[in-house]
Amino acid sequence: MMILGKKYLSGLLLLVMICANVQAQEPVNVTRSDNKVVLAGKVYYVHVVKPGQTLYSIARAYNVSEKEVLIENPGSSADLIIGQVLKIPADPASAFSVDTGKQVEEPERHILKEGETLYAVSRKYDLSVEEILKLNPDLDIEDMPIGQVIILPGKTTGKTEKNEMAYDEEGIILHQVKRGETLYSLARYYDVSVREIRSMNPELGWGGPRSGDVLRIPEANTSAAEVFAPDSLDIDTAQVAEELLADTLAEEEEYTYDELDYLFRERDRMYSVAYLIPFDYKEIEPLDSLLRGVRSPMRRERIREDYLLEQAAPKAVNFLEFLEGSLLAIDTLTDAGMKLDVHVYDTKRSMYRTRQILEQPEMKEMDLIIGPFYSFNLELVSDFSRENRIPLVTPFISIDSLLLENPYLFQPTPSYKTEHKANAEYIARSYDSNMILVHDGDSSKIPMINEYKQAIFDELEKYSALETVLFKEVIIRDVDTEELIHSLSPDEKNLVILPATDEAFASQIASRLYYIRDQYDIEVFGSTYWLGFDDIEISYIHALELTISHTHWYDFSDPEYLRLLRLFRQNYLKEPSATTRRGYNFGITGYDLSLYFLSALHEDGKRFIRKIEKYEADGTYMDYDFQRVSRSGGYENQALRYYHFGDELRVTEVPLPVKPPVHEYLRPAGDDPFYYRWIREEPDSVTVNDR
């Protein structure tokens, strides 16, 4: 305690010595940084001192006292150095508290439950999807978290009186969230979009803001707005999500596939298989017809680019390669004695066309359905699959919500949650490194980034007290990468976590890191999308020792893989070249999925579902490890392996690093800082003893 006392006493003495100078300083305009770092379980802004900035002006910009800045940055003084990095407490000292008003409408509201989708909600309330989207313009149908409040049609009862607002010099207001307020209601009140609020508050989680959170609200272009939040609605969305999930798990009954008990493999039986593929091939209109009546130069140029791109590589070619690969697998199995009745349907990227196909009498007699390829019509086919108890394989979709409600659905592409969990296991083994998470702050990806961070923190806590872990988050919104460089450490390994899905952004960061690699020990951990990137210099990737997780790697030294390429050349006079954004080759995936599931069907009939977790098929190139996502749900492929881009332009599969040794450390237990619990981390279990 003596040492702690001296530390704070010296800080106070230093504050007294510079106090007179602080009073005399003139305010300097300081832009608040968007970048944050987590240290000892506390969130800080990372601020780089620029010319003319003083301790007073920086403290004022972040709404903290100079004393707080000095205490959080030992060794700092009023004489700041240009380029010096300061950590500023992220919790603001005060926030603008307003009454967002009384109820102005009495709409019906639906709180999204586990496994529900927009299509299911529309059917429940006898509404069209378009009507719901019109009332919820900021709703992302591809990403709707549990607890999402969906507004439904209602009656208007009145208007809301506006409060007088006070924005600071940056045009930002700090709003403290009250119970019942949602992002939608705040957006209506401040006359801004939900997307703008999310972009200013990247720390928001899946369920939106909690009561007591402080949000940064941008100034709107206009001042008139009406409130859409009733004072009678008392919702903490995060708590609602937890309760809904708990209720779902408690009530969930296991689906046991009892109807398969009396089904046996018939050796001479003909199996029927349907492929739902969106070829949607159309004859391309002449360019002059497409440009007729278009006056905007930008619009004309965009049409011209799209025309040239479609002419060079029509989208239908990608799906044609998937079918070509599938036909090679079908030939392999029919040569082995399997009898197949194969139906190929063109869904034309149309829900109406998909519904027409499902109404065909033969569809109910299918033993296996492969497709569709888009999430907007997957729900329709998934409902049909469950109702008729037909195994359904969706090739490239990675949204796992429908898996929870259809025990016949198989998802070969791992979801983001599964990828993040696997990546976190690898990353956490470097707990003693300087870890830096880099992203572009895109508001649509913030929930995914937050989930990724939480997965990493959960893994890190198994090996070390979070107070000792150095984890930084850097947001780069433009070409300025200086704050990324400031976050690197010259004295230890720097693990740059770059979950980029945009190749331009990934290329920008990789180029910057490549040219300073001699000054720092840098390794990069990317996402599955890196396998689909074509424009990043291959030498950059290997020099930065990139590691990614993926379900496969196309190895051109593998005789079996070369054999498949020869089959493509012999049958189609070409090699499969079309890939998805996550690096999945359409032709190879078509071959793999068809060979895997048709082989399983040939061996056990529909009863293969009961053995799929242990089933292996010869001749496939992707890794499959199907695990059931819930007691009543379907199966997701969780076979992710780690691939390292190393010296001499070699790519090697690397094992998950060995777990660190057993650790013992103290963590606070409860609100009493002097009451601790021992946490002892064993290799496969955690034992907690209160003391």
Angle at 336 between CA 332 and CA 342, to 5 degrees: 60
| Residue 391 preceded by cis peptide, ω within 30 | no
Instruction: Tell the burial category of 280 from Cβ atoms under 10 Å away from its Cβ (0-12, 13-18, 19+).
Output: middle
CB 626 within 8 A of CB 566: no
Question: Which uninterrupted H or E stretch holds 327?
Answer: helix 315-335
DSSP 576: -
CB 183 within 8 A of CB 134: no
Q: Which residues contact 54 (CB under 8 A, 6 or more apart)?
A: 25, 28, 78, 80
Instruction: Tell the burial category of 672 from Cβ atoms under 10 Å away from its Cβ (0-12, 13-18, 19+).
Output: exposed
CB 110 within 8 A of CB 243: no
**Secondary structure (3-state) at 561:** helix
Name the nearest CA neighbour of 488 among 524, 452, 531: 524
Instruction: Tell the burial category of 348 from Cβ atoms under 10 Å away from its Cβ (0-12, 13-18, 19+).
Output: middle
**Secondary structure (3-state) at 40:** coil
How many Å apart are CA 35 and CA 43, to the nearest integer? 10
Distances, alpha carbon 17 to alpha carbons 207, 350, 668, in Å: 47, 73, 35
Q: What is the pLDDT of residue 220?
A: 65
Q: Which residues contact 117 (CB under 8 A, 6 or more apart)?
A: 141, 144, 379, 401, 402
Distances, alpha carbon 528 to alpha carbons 352, 423, 554, 563, in Å: 33, 10, 14, 26
pLDDT, the chain, mean? 77
DSSP 445: G
Residue numbers in the chain where pLDDT is lower than 70: 1-28, 36-43, 91-107, 141-142, 154-171, 179-180, 184, 195, 202-208, 210-212, 220-252, 262-267, 281-284, 309-314, 661-691
Q: What is the pLDDT of residue 97?
A: 57
Which residue is it, tokens 């988050």? Answer: 473
What string of H, E and C letters represents the secondary structure of 183-246? Answer: HHHHHHHHCCCHHHHHHHCCCCCCCCCCCCCEEEEECCCCCCCCCCCCCCCCCCHHHHHHHHHH
- Side-chain half-sphere CA neighbours of 49 within 13 A: 23
Write the single-letter amino acid at 239.
Answer: Q
How many Å apart are CA 260 and CA 267, to the nearest integer? 17
Q: Which residues contact 444 (CB under 8 A, 6 or more apart)?
A: 140, 143, 195, 198
Show the tokens assigned to 219.
């100034």
| DSSP of 291-324 | HTT---HHHHHHHHHHHHHHHHS-HHHHHHHHHH
Dihedral angle sign, alpha carbons of residues 201, 207, 208, 210? negative
Q: What is the pLDDT of residue 124?
A: 79
Largest Cα separation within the chain, whole Å, is: 95
How many Å apart are CA 343 and CA 354, to the nearest integer? 14
Q: Which residues contact 536 (CB under 8 A, 6 or more apart)?
A: 503, 506, 507, 510
Name the nearest CA neighbour of 373 among 399, 403, 406, 352: 399
Name the nearest CA neighbour of 548 among 640, 445, 451: 640
Name the nearest CA neighbour of 218 among 177, 168, 180, 176: 168
Show the tokens assigned to 624.
């499959």
Backbone phi and psi for residue 375, each to the nearest 5 degrees, phi listed first: -70, -25
How many Å apart are CA 204 and CA 206, to the nearest integer? 7
Q: Which residues contact 450 (CB under 8 A, 6 or more apart)?
A: 203, 204, 205, 206
Q: What is the pLDDT of residue 165?
A: 57
Q: Where are the alpha helices (DSSP H) in 494-641?
A: 503-514, 538-543, 559-572, 586-604
Single pTM value for the model:
0.61
